Structure 1
Amino acid sequence: MDAATPVVELKQITKRFPGIVANDSISLKLHKGEILALLGENGAGKSTLMNIVFGLYQPEEGSIEVKGKPVVIDSPNKAIELGIGMVHQHFKLVQPFTVTENIILGMEPKKMGARIDYKTSVAKIKQLSDQYGLKVNPNAKIHDISVGMQQRVEILKTLYRGADILIFDEPTAVLTPQEIGELMVIMKRLVAEGKSIILITHKLKEIMQISDTVTIIRRGKVIDTLKTAETNPNELAEKMVGRSVTFKVDKQASVPKEIVLDVKNLVSKNKEGISVLSGLNLQVRAGEILGIAGVDGNGQSELIEAITGLRKVDSGIIEVRGKDTTNKNPRHVTESGVSHIPEDRHKHGWY
């Protein structure tokens, strides 16, 4: 393949749903070793377009070329065969399975007839994990690892299947700031190894940090394609929404009132008997936003679980508006006026 030939080229792609044109004659190019950001508001048509590239949807009009050759991508299996992988915003993982079982699902290596060769699979996954700095434990259960680590498993799934063109759909939506930074490092390492990436996002800061080129989509149409080094967040924002925008927020100083949440000497241990909360104290007042910062795994999730009734505590007191809610069930806590937007809204969004 000639160096100037795009690894993926979309030509006049159009996709319609009842009452709406999701993609309207969209054309774009992705080159080898490039990170192309696909920028647009929610509903602009970004994910629909990439679902076409991955074979989940078929366009009504237009064509796709992969490495200079016209192709028809009529299924995800065809996309994988062409070296295209997709890391979905909502992960496609089986929670009770191990990392290895999820990655090899559907293409399990066999030995001596029908037996699955797990040893070879684990070795290959570990080699890929080390090569790209993913630091994933092949034997860990999915339900025991963080959301950020689950995303890395999804990345490994694409690499295990031989993908050299990776699509990331809103990858930072569920990540902590630290995990976002780590993902940026991983993406840079991937392109350094010759991979090419399409990044779906509406976060301007991340685009400026990581991408080489940015294509802006608004209401299903391509507005512009720019070199990231030659643009700025203001220009991108205006093209994305179609009007002038300001990043300045006028914010008045808060005037906290009475205590609405009081956590006193909270202690909680995990299944191994190790303290995850050790004599923790905090107060939240009416009219106040309290931030809790820390490296992943230092008790933030356990604290929220304890406050919302999802985790039993060994000692200490939790009071909501002066009433003891310690070790009460989630319904009782909710009826006390406490709401919970979980880290993984699909796994924990319903009690």
Structure 2
Amino acid sequence: MKLELRGITKTFGSFVANDAIDLVVEPGEIHSLLGENGAGKSTLMNVLYGLYRPDGGQIVIDGEPVAFSDPGDAMDAGIGMVHQHFMLVPVFTVAENMVLGHEPTRGGLLDIAAARTLVREISARFGFDLDPDALVEDLPVGAQQRVEIIKALSRRAEVLVLDEPTAVLTPHETDELMAIMRQLRDEGTSIVFITHKLREVKAVSDRITVIRRGKVVGEADPSADQAELASLMVGRQVSLAQDKSEAAPGEVALEVTDLRVTDAAGTRTLDGVSFEVRHGEVLAVAGVQGNGQTELTEALLGLQETVHGSATLEGRELVGRSTKQVLDAGVGFVPEDRTHDALVPDFSVAENLVLDQHDRPPFGSALAMKLKAIRQNAERLIP
């Protein structure tokens, strides 16, 4: 399938998100859309996927103009999209999510056996380890993304849009995703890869289109150096050199001793973990997905029920404390699924910034929040 976007314009009030954008995606290529956050990349792809109606321009597939009134039209035309924030039903299984909207039936009822078979077939094709009967809410983020991919492929997508797919992945998972992208390309699927990460663009792209402030500002070859790509993204010269001084760690801040965690099934998910983190030090915890990293962070944050051992921050015990008590003790946490576990999408940015301190001065009390102070805090943190 050859895909063309001709003069696509999309506005929100007086704000022009896409300004007469032209884009051509050839059959069987990985075409990267590179740009800063807010450049208009996702908006353009949401127009392609039928989530937004364009205010100008047209979509052309194999030489024929098309118009999508909703994502169903786009999927019927062979367009698939994996959103940055996954469009899955957490309480449904992998198989149920994959066939949602095009369910196989038998005798007028959902043919769940056929759905399971389809999951296994597509998973085997790409080396995915997905249990068709696993609940999506129980899967780690990387596995949820794979569910989104097989969901799109089950509808025979010829063009697959990946919107910031590596934002929630570890480096190892990112490498695995790139291998999948190359396999899909080699099988004839076209991929539109939305990102702002230069290393990934250079590693996997066949062609690169750079978008800045809603406009296409240039095309580049993957052989272009990172400084050149960065300059196109931001509109000025960029220095990528890093001057890192030698670290000088101080006294021990966090001390973890013989930490053990048992899950609801009685399985030991952490067994005798001990380490120290000093002031001014970065400690990396590495491991293949599913080997206890999540349980470790949850144990330190008071999110695991059955925890034994000790974890002290500046001499204060964290094990056995509530999450609020741990946060009050000075622990911060950025989870792998920020939208689900760290933010309230329906709240404003200002309100999200004080989620863990809205009930104390200067932002409020147990009775009421001080909206002016909350707004001023946001203005200070976000110039």
- TM-score band, normalised by the shorter chain? over 0.9
Q: Percent identity?
A: 47
Tell which deviates more after alignment, 85-94 or 260-269: 260-269
Q: Which residue of 1 aligns with 2:49?
A: 54
Q: TM-score, normalised by structure 1?
A: 0.95
User: Are positions 1:168 and 2:162 aligned together?
Assistant: yes
- Where 1:184 maps in the other structure, the secondary structure is helix
Matched residue type, 2:18: N
Q: 2:229 aligns with which of 229, 236, 245?
A: 236
Q: What per-residue deviation string (whole Å, max 9, x for no partner) do you get for residues 100-155 of structure 1?
A: 01111122111112x11111111122112212333322121112211001000000
Question: What are structure 2's unaligned runs of at least 5 residues?
Answer: 344-355, 357-383
- Map 1:327-342 onto structure 2 (within 5 A): 327-342=320-335
| Structure 1 residue ranges, 4+ long, deviating more than 3 angstroms after superposition | none
Tell which deviates more after alignment, 130-139 or 67-76: 130-139
Matched residue type, 2:51: L
Distance in 2 separating the partners of 1:189 and 1:106 = 26
Q: Which residue of 1 aligns with 2:106?
A: 111
Q: 1:321 aligns with which of 314, 321, 328?
A: 314
Q: CA RMSD in A?
A: 1.3
Contact 1:39–1:214 (Cα < 8 Å) also in 2: yes
Distance in 2 separating the partners of 1:287 and 1:110 = 59
Q: 1:298 aligns with which of 261, 280, 291?
A: 291
- Where 1:154 maps in the other structure, the secondary structure is helix
Question: How many angstroms does 1:313 deviate by?
Answer: 4.2
Matched residue type, 2:309: G
Distance in 1 separating the partners of 2:292 and 2:105 = 41
Q: 2:88 aligns with which of 77, 80, 93?
A: 93
Contact 2:83–2:163 (Cα < 8 Å) also in 1: yes
Q: 2:269 aligns with which of 258, 265, 276?
A: 276
Contact 2:41–2:211 (Cα < 8 Å) also in 1: yes
| Number of aligned residues | 344
Distance in 1 separating the partners of 2:274 and 2:214 = 50
Q: TM-score, normalised by structure 2?
A: 0.87
Question: How many angstroms does 1:312 deviate by?
Answer: 3.0
Tell which deviates more after alignment, 14-23 or 203-212: 14-23
Question: What are structure 1's unaligned runs of at least 5 residues?
Answer: 1-5
- Where 1:228 maps in the other structure, the secondary structure is coil
Q: What per-residue deviation string (whole Å, max 9, x for no partner) do you get for residues 161-217 of structure 1?
A: 121110000000000111001101111111111100000000011011111000000
Q: 1:131 aligns with which of 110, 114, 125?
A: 125
Contact 1:132–1:190 (Cα < 8 Å) also in 2: no
Matched residue type, 1:311: Q
Q: Which residue of 1 aligns with 2:258?
A: 265
User: Are positions 1:39 and 2:34 aligned together?
Assistant: yes
Q: Which residue of 2 aligns with 1:254?
A: 247
Q: Which residue of 2 aligns with 1:192?
A: 186
Tell which deviates more after alignment, 84-93 or 61-70: 61-70
